Structure 1
Amino acid sequence: MAGYGRVFQATLVGALFAAALAPNGDALAFDGAEKSAAAATRPLEIFKDPRQALQAALESYSAGNPASSVEALKYAAAGGEPLAQWKLGRMYADGDGVQRDDYKAYEYFQEIVDKYDEDTANWREKSVVASAFVAVGLFNLKGISGDRLQADPEEALRLFLYAATHFSDANAQYQLARLYRDGAPGVPKDHMQAARWLNLAAEKNHVDSQALLGQMLFSGDGVPAQRARGLMWMTLAREGASGKAQEWIHAQYDQAIRAANDNDRQAALVYLEDHLKRRY
């Protein structure tokens, strides 16, 4: 880990230094291809218990056959397996191996939330439960078309807040911060609260949180401006961003680095080096 930290530090410091010189200044793994191939062609069997059905379904899914895993997942979900409920929720939300159906996705995620009990919780399933709370929160925030679920931002706030505090889940903290930053009916804007939750998630290397916190600090968006610290967070986010969904992070960084002056860049380097020393 220490070696990785030095390489990562060198990459980020190099990015900021180059800018300063510029003139414009989910998952379970299963062993063996043979096992996965067998799962891909195996007909639905009678399982001895929900856990065995879940195992077989995940093997089939990992072999590239999501549709063939659905019945086994439903068997496991009906037997109370939270991971099966979560997987079905994601599949229906994404139209992955099934026809997309937001309400069915919502129902599977809601089942996890409804059955969660702090006193008897299995902490090995912590990430699955936290993700379900966030998913149900997002459905409540936006609602589901066809009047199947009315938007309820206050319920979304409650769900995000629970997952952000009880599970210390970075994605929940990010969604909570977004809600405080943007506001919604029944949820007034609170930029200071947004920055607080973004900072907690950013410290966990949540890339979107790093980018949004950086933008808020750099521009003084509802919080006292801290341009160098904001530039540091945007630099970290830029290095961690991947895929089309996070292209905005690169664009945001490019705009900020052009607007930054020499003092901003040099101070950001100091903050960056200190941050990486603390982490690695």
Structure 2
Amino acid sequence: MRPAPLLLALAAAAACAPRPPPGAVLGDAVRVCEEGRPCEVRPTASATFRPEEANRRGERQQDPDAYRGEDLGELRAAEEAGDRRAAYRLGLVHQQGLAGAPRDPRLATRHFERAAEAGHPWARFRLAQMLDVSGANRARSLELKTAAADAGVAEAAALLGTQYREGRGGVPRDAAEAARWFTVAAENGVPEAQYNLGLMHYRGEGVPRQLHEALKWMRQAATNGHVPAQRAVGQLYLTGLDTMGQDFQEARTWLASAASQGDRESQRLLADLDRAVAADRDYVRRFRLLSPYTAGYWGSAPYAGYWWRPYGHPGHYGWY
């Protein structure tokens, strides 16, 4: 397929002009420099959303167009000139009460609408969130979330996974569809989705039951700081589970991390491990006898979910 004329023109201009720094915005394009590859100029729409590159190290996806202190007057002028990123940032300003502006859901919705109509994926996600909070137009909310997730917004995919797993928000219960969306979100660094996907692989819900796949995703969630995942991984290594053996060093690492963040069950298990080690050398066998306890935990642990509260309430949406 031949490059688009716009790309050819931008590339030619960039070759002759002084080199701007990586990430510099050039009108409706951006100069992108990646390790091991020559720099190139890409249209903003394609260069902004590259989740497979942003999360090579398993990092949680960040909003690439978040408000960063821009002058509000300049943003308004840019929005009137058709800049969808400016419209989106103004939506964030009024949604969150930034830059001294009061929270105003009506204004936030208006700006998100303009950005969403211009195809901005994160604006579609934010607008869907606002519709969910208000309880209005579930069909449109689902359409917006799906479009955002298809465009690479990992949080939108995670939220869709929750909806299909629980059968709410206008969709039926569908474990396979939930697992599909959780996989998209998990691959792009959402620890709650990684945790949920680990449980689904362990239980065989929506995906084949694969214990090693379950542990892989649970470890990834634990590495990304998800406390219930740290507890689950610590318990598994403490007692062993099915074909997966014990590893007390790994168990101590994960339980200590969860315990340091106030998780009482991890604190109890860590204390049990310390007492057993101090008391006798038969603790390996003793903890192995507790593997049904670990199996019960992995089999009945609650999924990470998403909650809604009236708009304007501090933390009116988020994971629990």
Shorter chain as denominator, the TM-score bin is 0.5 to 0.7
- Select 1:111's aligned residue among 147, 150, 156: 147
User: Quick check: 1:218 aligned with 2:252?
Assistant: no
Inter-CA distance 90–212: structure 2 relative to 1 (3 Å threshold): farther
Identity %, equivalent residues: 22
Inter-CA distance 180–84: structure 2 relative to 1 (3 Å threshold): same
Report the counterpart of residue 183 of structure 1 in structure 2.
204
Report the counterpart of residue 264 of structure 2 in structure 1.
251
Pairs within 5 Å for 1:86-125: 86-93=125-132, 95=133, 98-99=134-135, 104-114=140-150, 116=151
On the 8 A contact 2:256/2:270 being kept in 1, the answer is no
CA distance in 2, matches of 1:256, 1:190: 26
CA distance in 1, matches of 2:137, 2:212: 36
Task: Give the number of the structure whose alpha-carbon radius of gyration is greater.
Answer: 2
CA distance in 1, matches of 2:211, 2:137: 34
Which amino acid is the alignment partner of residue 164 of structure 1? A
User: Quick check: 1:31 aligned with 2:52?
Assistant: no
On the 8 A contact 1:178/1:194 being kept in 2, the answer is yes
Q: What is the aligned-residue RMSD (CA, Å)?
A: 3.3
Which amino acid is the alignment partner of residue 195 of structure 2? Y
Deviations 1:94-140 (A, max 9, x none): x2xx34676554332101234x3xxxxxxxxx6xx222222222222
CA distance in 2, matches of 1:86, 1:132: 6
TM-superposed deviation, 1:230: 1.8
Report the counterpart of residue 178 of structure 2 in structure 1.
156
TM-score (norm 1): 0.61
Structure 1: unaligned runs, 5 residues or longer:
1-25, 117-125, 242-248, 266-280
CA distance in 1, matches of 2:209, 2:189: 22
CA distance in 1, matches of 2:113, 2:96: 17
Deviations 1:224-256 (A, max 9, x none): 2334422310221333x4xxxxxxx61211221
On the 8 A contact 2:238/2:246 being kept in 1, the answer is yes
Per residue, is there more strand in 1 or in 2?
2
Report the counterpart of residue 140 of structure 1 in structure 2.
164
TM-superposed deviation, 1:29: 4.4
SS at match of 1:177: helix
TM-score (norm 2): 0.54
TM-superposed deviation, 1:177: 0.6
- Select 1:47's aligned residue among 64, 80, 90: 80
On the 8 A contact 1:231/1:264 being kept in 2, the answer is no
User: Quick check: 1:65 aligned with 2:112?
Assistant: no
TM-superposed deviation, 1:80: 0.7
Give the number of equivalent residue pairs.
206
Structure 2: unaligned runs, 5 residues or longer:
1-61, 279-320
CA distance in 1, matches of 2:259, 2:264: 9
Inter-CA distance 76–234: structure 2 relative to 1 (3 Å threshold): same
Deviations 1:19-39 (A, max 9, x none): xxxxxxx7634438xx68x9x
CA distance in 1, matches of 2:277, 2:131: 46
CA distance in 2, matches of 1:102, 1:251: 38
SS at match of 1:260: helix
